[in-house]
Amino acid sequence: MAYKITLIHGDGIGPEVSRAAQMCVDAASERFGFDVDWEEMPAGEEAGKRYGSVLPEETLKSVRENKVALKGPITTPIGSGFRSVNVDLRQKLDLFANVRPAKLIPGVESRYSDVDLIVIRENTEDLYAGIEFDEGTKATSDLISFAEKNTGKRIRKDSAISLKPISIFGSRRIAKFAFDYAKANKRKKVTAVHKANIMKYSDGLFLKSVQDVAKKYPSIGFEDRIVDNMCMQLVIKPELYDVLVCPNLYGDIVSDLCSGLVGGLGVAPSANIGEKYAVFEPIHGSAPKHAGKDEANPTACILSAVMMLEYIGEKKAAAALEKAVVEVIRKGKKVTYDLNQRRHVGTGEMTKEIVREMGGSA
Ligand code: NAD
């Protein structure tokens, strides 16, 4: 069997961790008898400088053709500059479900002993829709007049405004994905995360949609939590939770919190899944201060590649690679700085150790 997979290295530590994952997948493919033909495509800051676009059309075309991509993190300027390439990619490919597991690996230092959570984040709507109105523009002033007239509320004239669209379609679709995921992975409970007490229409509609879908899955437990309480509950007793289904923004924040429970961003993988395509990437960003120093933890990107191998049906390779990662971390001798402050190795050495542990030649 041969697979053609798009590989986007990204910015900052992106190329270091994506090459680490590539090396592990190549070793796994050699051991389990399948081929991976990587199609390396540009996106991000470097692509902007070199090709005049931070998300070139050829890169999108490659993912559309290959259907599967592995991606390193991409820098997004804060406050001004280009919009997030990551958000753009997810919207253009309609990768509506962001699956973010947070499972404690033995050997990772954590305040907790029993964490095994899956955050399922809606990936296309909410405040991430990118519908924003800048302060001082005519469009913003018109929008303020419209909103004031229709709600009777006052909005300061020097405001900027971001819209938060949440649809029945989007909410039902992510709810169905979460319950199907729970069923397929023998999970017991889905918790909907929201702030419907304050945002009665947008979050209220999300909650109502998830509640409706939940009725079709009587074998899976269902409950809901207000997002602020959810954060507190996760910090105090994460073992009480299983699958969390969230609108876009809360999903982003809550999943970073969950990654903190299991050792930090260096070990947190994710999958962006749609009807037609899937893009696998670590949760973490481009961590510019660590870039080019051979010190970033490759685990998050390698575990994202594990999710990718499962997705394409190479379950044995996925299990072997995951086992090798877990074993190297459990031994704790050849791991990066974030996993062992006293004794650590670089990104490259940890990756080679994972390949060796899997029985490959590094
Ligand atoms: P970040 O995740 O890049 O880094 C935050 C901190 O987490 C780092 O300083 C480091 O201490 C730690 N960390 C992250 N990854 C690590 C790894 N692999 N190994 C060891 N430690 C690691 O978050 P940030 O600094 O807020 O964002 C930097 C840039 O990345 C921003 O431009 C942001 O927009 C972008 N970003 C991209 C993605 C993506 O591509 N999907 C996701 C998040 C942030």
Q: Between 81 and 215, name the one with better pLDDT.
A: 215
* Contact (CB, 8 A) for 327 and 359: no
pLDDT tens digits, 189-200: 999 999 999 999
What is the C-alpha to C-alpha distance for residues 265 and 300, in angstroms, rounded to an integer?
7
| In the chain, ranges of CATH 3.40.50.2300 domains | 111-125+168-261
Whose C-alpha lies nearest to ligand 1, atom 21? 266
d(CA 125, CA 167): 8
Atom 41 in ligand 1: residue holding the nearest Cα: 73
Q: How many residues does the chain have?
A: 362
* Model pTM above 0.85: yes
Residues of the chain with CATH 3.40.718.10: 1-97+267-362
Residue 94 pLDDT greater than 80, yes or no: yes
pLDDT value at residue 46: 84
pLDDT at residue 99 is higher than 80? yes
Q: Can you tell me which atom of ligand 1 is nearest the CA of 77?
A: 32
- Strand pairing report for 68-71 and 2-8: parallel
Token pair belonging to 277: 């395509």
The pLDDT tens digits for 268-317 are 999 999 999 999 999 999 999 999 999 999 999 999 999 999 999 999 99
Query: Residue 77: its pLDDT value, please?
Result: 78
Average pLDDT, the chain: 95
- According to CATH, the superfamily of the domain at 111-125+168-261 is Response regulator (3.40.50.2300)
Q: Is 300 in the pocket of ligand 1 (CB under 6 A)?
A: yes
Nearest 5°: CA angle at 84, between 78 and 86?
135
Report the SS3 class of residue 9: coil
Closest ligand 1 atom to residue 85 Cα is 40
Euclidean distance between CA atoms 215 and 319, whole angstroms: 33
Could you please report the per-residue DSSP string of 95-144?
A: --EEEEEEEPPTTS--S-S--EEEEEEE-SSGGGG--EE-TT-HHHHHHH
Residue located nearest, by CA, to atom 31 of ligand 1 = 75
Mean pLDDT (whole number) for 20-36 = 97
Residue minimizing CA distance to atom 43 of ligand 1: 285
Residue 125 CB neighbours (<10 A): 23
Q: Which atom of ligand 1 is nearest to the CA of 297?
A: 19
- Average pLDDT of the segment spanning 168-187: 98
Q: How does residue 83 score in pLDDT terms, banded at 50, 70 and 90?
A: confident
For the Cβ of 287 lying below 6 angstroms from any atom of ligand 1, the answer is yes
pLDDT tens sequence across 42-73:
999 888 888 889 999 999 999 999 999 999 99
pLDDT tens-place string over residues 143-169: 999 999 999 999 999 999 999 999 999
Q: What percent of the chain has pLDDT over 70?
A: 100
Pocket of ligand 1 contains residue 123 by CB under 6 Å: no
> Quick one: which of 9, 22, 6, 7 has its CA closest to 66?
6
Q: 98 pLDDT exceeds 80?
A: yes
What does the alpha-carbon distance between residue 251 and residue 193 come to, in Å, rounded to a whole number? Answer: 8
Q: In the predicted model, is pLDDT for residue 5 greater than 90?
A: yes
Q: Which atom of ligand 1 is nearest to the CA of 296?
A: 19
pLDDT at 59: 96
**Does the structure show a pLDDT above 90 at 80?**
no
Distance 76 CA to ligand 1 centre (A): 10
Question: 45 in ligand 1 pocket by Cβ < 6 Å?
Answer: no
Q: What is the DSSP string of 26-65?
A: HHHHHHHT-EEEEEE---SHHHHHHHS-SS-HHHHHHHHH
Average pLDDT value for residue range 339-351: 93
Q: Look up tokens 């590649």; give the residue.
A: 305
Q: Which residues are CB-neighbours of 221 under 8 A, at least 6 positions away? A: 188, 189, 190, 242
| Superfamily of the domain at 1-97+267-362 | Isopropylmalate Dehydrogenase (3.40.718.10)
Q: Which pLDDT band holds residue 1 (cuts at 50, 70, 90)?
A: confident
- Which pLDDT score is estimated for 150? 97
Question: Best of 100, 265, 339 to mutate for ligand 1, by most ligand atoms within 8 A of CB?
Answer: 265
Helix axis angle, 168-184 to 202-214, nearest 10°: 40
d(CA 123, CA 191): 17
Is residue 267 in contact with ligand 1, taking CB distance under 6 Å? no
| SS percent in the chain: helix, strand, coil, step 5 | 45, 15, 35
